[in-house]
Amino acid sequence: MTGKEIVKLIVTLVIGFILSSAFDHYKSIQSNNDSILVSNEKLEQFDKRITKLEDDNRKLGDIYVTRREFTVIVDNLNTTLKRVDDNILKLTEKFYESQGKK
């Protein structure tokens, strides 16, 4: 082997090393790019979920109670309204009694 052939082989090896390193670097960048795209899609899905939950929260109103708590509240209101009705009935009876005495 002559000096020129050795230089050609070294240059070929260096160029091959550079090309293989560049290709490996490109594959690494492509892999990172793919994982970034997947992460971006997941972030968009989370953003959509958060937006939907915020919209649902706005639709709920200020107070949210369970069905059992709601039933207790309604029963208490019914009891209170029954007492009011009874008191109104007593007052109207007293009013009509007092009107009849005069």
Cα 80 from Cα 85, distance rounded (Å) = 9
- Statement to judge: residues 51 and 74 lie in one domain: no
Q: How confident is the model at residue 101 (pLDDT cuts 50, 70, 90)?
A: low
Structure-token match 């639709």, residue found: 59
- Statement to judge: residues 53 and 99 lie in one domain: no
**Residue (of 78, 77, 81, 79) closest to 89 by Cα position:** 81
Exposure string of 24-48, with b = 16+ CB inside 10 Å and e = fewer, is eeeeeeeeeeeeeeeeeeeeeeeee
User: Can you read off the two tokens belonging to residue 93?
Assistant: 């009876």
Q: What is the pLDDT of residues 38-63, one digit of tens each?
A: 888 999 999 999 999 888 878 777 77
The torsion angles phi and psi of 4, rounded to 5 degrees, stand at -65, -40
- Domain, as residue range, for 4: 1-62
- Statement to judge: residues 2 and 44 lie in one domain: yes
More confidently predicted of 66 and 82: 82
Q: What is the pLDDT of residues 84-98, one digit of tens each?
A: 999 999 999 888 888
- Statement to judge: residues 39 and 73 lie in one domain: no
Helix, coil or strand: residue 40? helix
Q: Is residue 102 pLDDT above 60, yes or no? A: no
- Statement to judge: residues 3 and 26 lie in one domain: yes
Percent of residues, the chain, with pLDDT higher than 70: 96
From residue 4, how far is each of 10, 13, 14 by CA, in Å?
10, 14, 15
The whole-model pTM stands at 0.42
Tally of domains within the chain: 2
Percent of residues, the chain, with pLDDT higher than 90: 44
